A and B are shown apart, each in its own frame.
Chain A
Amino acid sequence: MVLLHRGSVLGLVLLLAACATQAPEPSLPAPVVKPSAPEKIETPRARVPQQSPPRPATPSASAAWQPLLAKAEQATQRGDYEQALALLERAQRIDPDSAEVYLGMAQTHRARGDAMQARATAERGLLYCATDALCNALRAYAR
């Protein structure tokens, strides 16, 4: 089902590409924000074990927010927690039900020394975790 969806998107993309070569190119090259995304295929959701709840019919938004999480991690590593949290909040608005985003927030709060926010955020994230690995990671912060 997912593959089918991917396939149709791919087909659409090819079609667009075909159209685009015929259409006159815009004078400006279109620069695209390409955040330094990790390999796209290996999203954490792809690692979900098979007994996990069935995937919702709506397409997952994780491809949209994964790059934001990666950027947030970079920001955290250079100590820019404000920027990291801003990126994570953007990710959360895109997919409010993502436990991974909550985990990222909890980690960032912990990293900047706000254990209380880390705990509250992780507790809320526990409402959304679907895999043992994710739930356990959140529980570690919720304690």
Chain B
Amino acid sequence: MFRTSHLLLKLVLSALVVVGLFMVYLDARITATFSEKMWELSARVYARPLELFTGAALTAEELAYELEVLGYRAVSTPRQPGEVSRNNNRFDLYARGFNFPGEQEPAHRVQIEFVGARIKGVSADGKDIDLMRLDPVLVGGIYPRHGGEDRLLVRLADTPEMFRAGLVAVEDRRFYQHWGFSISDIARAAFDNLRSGKVVSGGSTITQQLVKNYYLTSERTLVRKLTEVLMAVLLELHYDKEQILESYINEVYLGQDGPRAVHGFALAAQHYFDKPLDQLDLYQQALLIGMIKGPSLYNPDRNPQRALERRNVVLGVMAEQDVITPEQAAAARAKPLGLNNKRRIRDSFPAFLDLVRRQLGRDYREEDLTTKGLSIFTSFDPLLQRQLEISTAAVMDQLDRSGKLQSASIITRFDTGEVAALVGGRKARFAGFNRALDARRPAGSLLKPAIYLAALERPREFSLATVLSDTPLTIKAAGAKPWQPQNYDHKSHGDVLLYQALAQSYNLASARLGMQLGVDTVIDMLARLGVAEGVPRLPALLLGAGEYTPMDMATMYQTIAAGGFRMPLRSIRDIVDVNGEPMKRYPLEYERTVSLQSMHLLHFALRAVVREGTGQGVYRYLPQDFAVAGKTGTTNDGRDSWFAGFSGDLLAVSWIGRDDNGVTGLTGGSGALKVWAHFMSRSSRQPLAYRMPDGIETRWIDDHSGYLTGEGCPNSRMLPFSVGSEPRQRTDCAPRNEGSGVKDWFESLFGSKG
């Protein structure tokens, strides 16, 4: 007897020690992790915000699209943020406002009116507004590669009071009284379980649910349940109710979005309603509260009827607990689910996100991007992206029904060097091989401007009117077989003027000019334009040999379009940390690497490409008076079709080819040019302006001989020259005052003064 009781005592004591040690262990686990529990917050990537002001080049349809992807709701009278009413060219808009880095845009109601393709006025309460911007479209997130939890953090104080009361009323009505668990609830759950013979009911308090989500697996055993209760008590000992409720609101799982798990009410509010939590109506709050019980069972997208019933149950409980009045409950019950519209664009631009990720990769560790909750503000333009996708699809479907041809394009705003849109393949919405960044191809004649620029930099030797010889040549190099370039038409064209050789993309004249300057000179020029990698030190480089991505070509033509100022192509403007503090800005930086004058002369030749050379096809899409400049590129047997060029506001580079490097049967002019021109004709709002820098003057030239001649003389045309570089020889034709009467595209630039 004594022995058994002694044994029992020993057993009890050791059990107590074990339980005690276990509690110490649990306590340590809680205190070590809970207070500084690191929420893993993916980085959020935002598009550029749309700027609204009188005179802005924007159509009513474009604003409507932007608002649609932003999830603004069409109503008859906007009464709260996120609502809009449209009457043809008039928008009555309750803008949501947004905390931009360094500047806050408040939520406010504004009226916007359009005339033609411009904003006629922006006003609020009858007063003109100089400038405002919409909230930026959330383009996507940077998640851990294996998918995972996503959430937006919210502070308890920033959650609506009614919502908190409703949450407690439904999930844990004795939350503010209990010590982490509720005996009556556990008893009721145990009774239910006994009666049914299996575990059906949890009887968990909010604290227990939090502990379970944080620390425990979802298996249902007695030991686990006891651990949960113990930890809940410990949690309550260490932290107050507010801290626990705040963690719960941010932790709770509320549904799945593809590979992304939606956690916390703040993200759920955005996910289901496109609204911040504090802007939800009662009926929307009730839906989210109801979803805790079964995020997939009550998923409003998949099971709308069940979700609606569950929501109404929640409203009933809220009324019963005096959180809301019966009238409020009745009014909310009469509402529909009120979900956001489904035209979502988030995470549907993998190619652009890829670019952002890579640019971030230079400054941030992958882990920081997927866990630190950074906000990344980019230059992505959803309107230009939409048009680029439409243009790519339209042209590619017309060129190639088989689907073997691929295409990639990059759009920049060359004044600021910002990448605005990007297509990495024909299926633009699907992640995969990003040809815009990763397809390494020969560039064909797209490199030629580097040769001509290097020549035009020597005004004592070369001008646009210098006579070049487009005749066969053979270049021998030690240890290599001789290089014998050919023209596309397999003809030679004899004496041609320098600008004509570029406009017509004559290979023989270009190769001769390049050899005269030296391959190294051309390589140096390419580097100054921003292309340093994949450039072989071979004569064949002059006609585009090497490996270049569409992005490389965008970098090169960016420098050209910007007038000789090299700037890094940027996709990111600002990065803001989880508390809204600016972390990093990617500033605009200019570096002038080519003189204004030689670049100006090159622009003339690139304008000639589209007016009288290989790029004339652009004017099957663009209006005749819309000035642009560009260059075609075709590689051997038409394996690659390129076009690069710019208007007054946009630079675009397009490429068409096959992934297996097979023959496309296309030239730059019959392929990529069409994507380029289709896009430009619909998106560019500004023709290329003519701005003559200091040190340039115009002269009349005989277009055949390259001699100076008089206005109105045979073959006369006007060309720009660096001062002092004009031809010395002159025809014997005297200027005729009446002129020819017909102005070419260049003379027309000078208007009536001509």
Interface residues of A (CB under 8 A from B): 9, 12-14, 16-17, 20, 23-24, 26-28, 30-33, 35, 37, 58-61, 63-68, 82-83, 85-87, 89-90, 92-94, 96-97, 105, 117, 120-121, 123-124, 126-128
Chain B contacts for A24, CB-based, 8 A: 77, 79
Chain B residues, Cβ within 8 Å of A89: 416, 573, 587-588
Residue pairs across A and B with Cβ atoms less than 8 A apart, 30 shown, are: A9-B120, A9-B128, A13-B128, A14-B126, A20-B126, A23-B77, A26-B109, A28-B107, A30-B107, A31-B108, A32-B129, A33-B104, A58-B55, A59-B118, A61-B56, A63-B54, A64-B53, A67-B130, A68-B131, A83-B102, A86-B101, A86-B102, A87-B103, A89-B573, A92-B415, A93-B48, A96-B415, A105-B588, A120-B589, A120-B592
B residues within 8 A CB of A31? 106, 108
Q: Using Cβ atoms and an 8 Å threshold, which residues of chain A touch B588?
A: 85, 89, 92, 105
What does the 1/0 interface line of B105-117 toward A look like (CB < 8 Å)? 1111111010000
Determine the distance from Cα of A108 to Cα of B17 in the docked complex, in whole angstroms: 70
Once the chains bind, are B121 and A13 in contact (CB under 8 Å)? yes
Known contacts A26-B94, A28-B107, A96-B413: A59-B55 contact under CB 8 Å: yes
Task: Give the docked Cα–Cα distance between A94 and B693 (Å).
Answer: 24
Identify which of A82, A90, A117 gathers the most chain B CB atoms within 10 Å of its CB.
Answer: A90
- A126 pairs with B693, CB closer than 8 A: yes
Q: Could you mark each residue 582-597 of chain B with 1 if its beta carbon is under 8 Å from any beta carbon of chain A, else 0?
A: 1001011111100010
- Please tell me if the beta carbons of A96 and B131 are within 8 angstroms of each other in the complex: no
The 8 Å CB contact of B565, one of A37, A68, A120, is A120
B379 to chain A, nearest CB (A): 9
B54 adjacent to A64 (CB under 8 Å): yes
**Which of chain A's residues has its CB closest to B565's CB?**
A124
Bound-state CA distance A121–B108 (Å) is 36
| Nearest chain A CB to B594 CB, angstrom units | 12
In the assembled complex, the Cα of A97 lies from the Cα of B416 at a distance in Å of: 11
Nearest CB of A to B283, in Å: 18
Residues of A within 8 A of B416 (CB): 89, 92-93, 96
Known: A30-B110, A58-B55, A64-B56. 16 other contacts (CB 8 A): A9-B120, A13-B127, A30-B107, A30-B109, A30-B125, A32-B127, A33-B105, A61-B55, A61-B56, A63-B54, A67-B131, A94-B53, A94-B56, A97-B415, A127-B596, A127-B693
* Residues of A contacting B51 in the complex (Cβ-Cβ under 8 angstroms): 64, 90, 93-94
A residues in contact with B48, CB < 8 Å:
93
B314 in contact (CB, < 8 A): no
CB nearest to B415 among chain A residues: A96
Would you give the shortest CB distance from B90 to chain A, in whole angstroms?
A: 9
Question: What are the residues of chain A within 8 A of B108 when measuring CB–CB?
Answer: 30-32
CB distance from A93 to the nearest CB of B (A): 6
What's the minimum C-beta distance from A14 to chain B, rounded to whole angstroms?
7
Query: B382 interface residue, CB < 8 Å from A?
Result: no
Interface residue tally for chain B (C-beta within 8 Å)? 59
Is B617 on the interface with A (CB-CB < 8 A)? no
Query: B589 to nearest A CB, angstroms?
Result: 6
Q: Find chain B residues with CB under 8 A from A23 CB.
A: 77
- Asked if B68 is at the interface of the complex by the 8 Å CB criterion, the answer is no
Interfacial chain A residues near B113, Cβ < 8 Å: 12
Smallest Cβ-Cβ distance to A35: which chain B residue:
B130
Give B residues with C-beta under 8 Å from A: 48, 51, 53-57, 77-80, 94, 101-111, 113, 118, 120-121, 123-132, 413, 415-416, 562-563, 565, 573-574, 582, 585, 587-592, 596, 649, 689, 691, 693-694
**Contacting pair A64 B565 (CB below 8 A):** no
Give the residues in chain A near B585, CB-CB below 8 Å.
82, 85-86
Q: Once the chains are docked, how many angstroms separate the CA of A27 from the CA of B77?
A: 12
Considering the complex, give the chain A residue whose CB is closest to the CB of B591: A120
For the complex, what is the distance from the CA of A105 to the CA of B590, rounded to whole Å? 11
B43 to chain A, nearest CB (A): 20
Partner of A32, one of B124, B590, B591, B693: B124
Measured CA separation A13–B563 after assembly (Å): 41
Q: Distance (Å) between the CB of B174 and the closest chain A CB?
A: 35
Q: Is B53 a contact of A127 with CB atoms below 8 Å? A: no
Chain A positions within 8 Å of B103 at CB level: 87
Name B691's contact: one of A16, A67, A127 (CB within 8 Å): A127
Residue of A nearest to B649 (CB): A96
Chain A nearest Cβ from B601, distance in angstroms: 15
Q: Give the chain B neighbours of A9 by CB distance below 8 A.
A: 54, 120-121, 128
Residues of A within 8 A of B130 (CB): 35, 37, 63-64, 66-67
In the bound complex, CA of A66 to CA of B55 (Å): 14
A12-B120, A30-B110, A31-B108 known; A124+B53 contact, CB < 8 A: no
Residues of B within 8 A of A66 (CB): 130
Contacting residues, chain A, for B126 (C-beta < 8 A) = 13-14, 16-17, 20
List chain B residues, Cβ under 8 A from A87.
103
Task: State whether A123 touches B592 (Cβ < 8 A).
Answer: yes
Report the bound CA distance from A13 to B54 in whole Å: 12
Q: With both chains docked as a complex, state the minimum distance between the C-beta of B40 and any C-beta of chain A, in angstroms.
A: 29
Provide the residues of chain B in CB contact with A28, threshold 8 Å: 80, 107
**Residues of A close to B79: CB separation below 8 A:** 24, 26-27
Answer whether A117 and B691 are a contact pair too, CB < 8 Å, given A59-B118, A63-B54: no
Give the Cβ gap from A24 to chain B, nearest Cβ, in Å: 7
- Kindly list chain A residues whose C-beta atoms are within 8 Å of the C-beta of B563: 124, 127
Closest chain A residue to B105, Cβ basis? A33
Nearest CB to that of A32 among chain B residues?
Answer: B124
Instruction: Check A61 against B415 for contact (C-beta < 8 Å).
Output: no
A128 to B692, CA, bound (A): 10
Q: How far is the CA of A28 from the CA of B90 in the complex (A)?
A: 22
